[in-house]
Structure formats: structure tokens, C-alpha cells
Amino acid sequence: MVIMVSLFSLLMLPDCKLYEIHQDYIVLYNRHDKSECFIIYYEDIVSWHYEWNPSFDQLVISLVDGSVEKQEVYAKYRIEKWLNSLAPGKQAKKNHRK
């Protein structure tokens, strides 16, 4: 089992940094052009949520100017922990249907 997880990580997950979390902002890196990045200050975030997809997961951030930034991510619990700590009250609530 350990070998399978290791092979999956080695072959399927990106080998580049996707984001960095800092005290006042988050940096989102462009996977296609490693020389580009996008800095988002937590005060500019209206809401954020984590979306699961079969091929990749993504962090979706809505900003005060009305734009939406989407970033591929692979560590749901880590990013949720940090964003809930540094941008409290901005995680979008899921709509539960009965």
C-alpha cells in the first residue's frame, strides 16, 4: 500500500509549489508559467471554498473586486486550517439540500 501511495504521489502530483501562505497574504503560483504569481491579501477576500473534482481539487477565492481566482491544491485540511486562522469567517458555507 505504501508503495502504491508513493508511486501515485511521484507520478500524479505536481512537483512545483502551488501556493504559499503568509501572515497577511497568500501567494498563488501559475503552474504553466513559473515566473508568474498572484498575491491575495486576506482583507481582499470576500469568501473562499474548497472544491473536490475527480482529476484535481481546487481552492476558489472570491475577491472584493468581483473577480474569482481558482488554484489547484492538494492539501484540503492544511489550507482550510490556515485560511480559517488567517481569514476567519470567510469560508463559504455549503448549501445542504434535504
Residues 76-88 pLDDT 10s = 888 899 999 999 9
Q: Please say whether the beta carbons of 26 and 20 come within 8 A.
A: yes
Residues 28-70 pLDDT 10s = 987 677 778 899 999 999 999 999 888 788 999 999 999 999 9
Residue given cell 491575495 in the structure block: 40
What's the whole-model pTM score? 0.75
The band of 96, judged by pLDDT with boundaries at 50, 70 and 90, is: very low
Whether CATH 3.40.30.10 fits 18-86: no
